[in-house]
């Protein structure tokens, strides 16, 4: 897929979104709060906690605009459209993910897409952050060294075949682990994934997350990601999980 085809596809996605009811796409959440705090459907598209260009030069403005306003918005709309009349309709997003099965294709894909992106935006920062000594100590004690952790996470991101995500999770026994998942699956999907846990760091490796700037050079995008990680948010989620 070249850049022209990519832009054409994202334009079509945007047109499809705008043809539906806009109420389900309202940015009603407090800036910076992930949308999965919504108690139940209809879910809403969370506002970005920073400007589209705030992550440059690491993640470019146009990618952020299309990624949030087109792709994420489409997941929210499609999730709401598919929840009506189902047993999931009165559940929170996290409850939906824990109960969804491989038979619930639309809810699995769009619910995962909504959760994953809502989390992802909070894990990025326009200002340079560094992990605290406490967080670094926890990570190095699990992986042997900080460099070993980054290598393992990079490999998880690089080896996703096609589209998916790399994750740092807190496992049910309160240890840290690095995993990856295909498509919009995530470690909260207990009936689908092998490695379950609470995600505290995530990297989107779908092509729409990096193709405009990096084309097919995913490793280049992964390297850029480390310059934009919101380590304060990672630590907050780590403390809550343990």
Binding residues for Mn(2+), by number, are: 67, 117, 204, 208
Residue 149 to residue 131: CA distance in whole angstroms: 13
* C-alpha span between 166 and 150 (Å, rounded): 11
d(Cα 100, Cα 220) in Å, to the nearest integer?
Answer: 34
| CB 35 within 8 Å of CB 44 | yes
Closest to 12 in 3D by CA, of 84, 74, 89 = 74
**Structure tokens given for 181:** 């998942």
Q: Across-strand partners of 170?
A: 176, 198
Binding site members? 67, 117, 204, 208
37: three-class secondary structure by DSSP: helix
């Amino acid at each position: 897929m070249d850049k022209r085809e990519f832009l054409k596809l994202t334009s079509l996605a945007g047109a499809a979104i705008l043809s539906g009811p806009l109420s389900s796409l309202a940015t009603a959440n407090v800036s910076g709060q992930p949308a999965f705090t919504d108690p139940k459907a209809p879910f809403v598209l969370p506002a970005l906690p920073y400007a589209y260009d705030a992550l440059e030069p690491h993640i470019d403005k146009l990618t952020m605009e299309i990624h949030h306003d087109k792709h994420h918005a489409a997941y929210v709309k499609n999730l709401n459209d598919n929840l009506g009349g189902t047993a999931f309709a009165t559940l929170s997003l996290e409850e939906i993910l824990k109960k969804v099965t491989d038979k619930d294709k639309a809810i699995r894909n769009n619910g995962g897409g909504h959760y994953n992106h809502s989390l992802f935006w909070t894990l990025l920062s326009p200002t340079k952050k560094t992990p605290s000594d406490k967080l670094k100590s926890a990570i190095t004690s699990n992986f042997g060294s900080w460099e070993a952790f980054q290598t393992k996470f990079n490999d998880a991101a690089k080896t996703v075949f096609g589209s998916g995500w790399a994750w740092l999770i807190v496992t049910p026994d309160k240890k840290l682990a690095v995993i990856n998942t295909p498509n919009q699956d995530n470690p909260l999907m207990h009936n689908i994934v092998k490695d379950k846990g609470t995600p505290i760091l995530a990297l989107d490796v779908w092509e729409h997350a990096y193709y405009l700037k990096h084309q097919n050079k995913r490793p280049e995008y992964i390297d850029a990601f480390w310059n934009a990680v919101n380590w304060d948010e990672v630590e907050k989620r780590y403390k809550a999980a343990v």
